[in-house]
Structure 1
Amino acid sequence: MFEDFSERLFAHFVAGHWRAPYSENAYPVTTDQGVGLGQVMAAGPRDIARALNVRRGADQQACLRLADTLERERDVLVRASVLQTGLAPAPAGLDGLAAAFAAPMDAQGGVVFSTRATRFEDLGRALRASVMGGAIWCPTVDQAVFATAFACLVQQADLPPGAFALLHAHVPSTKAAFDEAGLTMQEC
């Protein structure tokens, strides 16, 4: 899945499809050794509006499908993490990520903004709560490969369009765009 970076653009995932970003603010995606993997376009106001316009929640069955997919395809997430960071995630962390989606939870919806390295269990809980009401995940550039792999698994699990969106972020500019839109973000 991650051997071919021919286009070198990590796209946004919105409404169940990969979308070219509207933003033109490009940031490099590199390995822990500084090898270029491509670039992300930090989400701007038009990208955020597109994700908000299609946001809707997922039901418990969709979350269980995602939990099963995350468990079954954990090697995809491991390879993505190793590719960008040079480190394999702890198995317990990936177990916690999958388990979070299997747990019952009320719908909340919202924006999950990753501003630092996050424990997978915490990320899973934050995304799970948001997916029930329509999640928008904004990971930082140093999480782009893992986030893209995660979105591929969301697509494979066939969550309803709008239940999950991936908008790559550059903290200052993307956070400002969300602030302008009057949205609150859950940082994890």
Structure 2
Amino acid sequence: MTTLTSSATFSVGDAATATEQLAIVILPAVAAASGEGRLIHPTLGTYDYARAPDQWTNMDADAIIAPTWASTRTLGGAANTLWQGKLRDVEVVERWNADGGLSMTVDQLRMLVSHWTNPPDPAVARVKWYPSYVNGNGYEVAMVSLASGGGEGITLNHVIFNEAGYVNFDVELRLRILGKL
């Protein structure tokens, strides 16, 4: 954290001299999008997405952290609490849509499956994720789920294997943010 200081003196009538301090948080500029996305697995290595997702949730210039809400019933009604969320509360969803027929290459799906089905021990190492299609930040993540075909699990068909080499289903990847790099 960098501290900037500034001082000035000016007169207000014949009032006594007073000193005031004010802390202002200055956020960095948003890093420009410069890629398709990247996963770095501690044992499988680096994978640069062949195609960026069509949609994503809870990510912009940085993670979008929703406030946390809790409510409990009381004799007179309810006690409600609302407080600021934490980075570890954020779940990001990346979606590749098959609008127009194809969502991604089979190779990209296989790499996502490989990263998802081989989770590292989070006490030892974590998957690093760079959503370079939207910002320049990096995050440590847990790959929570991967699905193709609109349901749970990985749906495959003959088009994927025999004809096009492309996935003709929507693909959805869920990532839980564990920390920021």
Q: Identify, as 1 or 2, the structure richer in helix.
A: 1
Would you call these one fold, judging by a TM-score over 0.5? no
- TM-score tier after normalising by the smaller chain length: under 0.3
User: Of the two structures, which has the highest relative contact order with CA contacts closer than 8 Å and spacing of 6 or more?
Assistant: 1
TM-score normalised according to structure 1 size: 0.25
| Structure (1 or 2) with the larger CA radius of gyration | 2
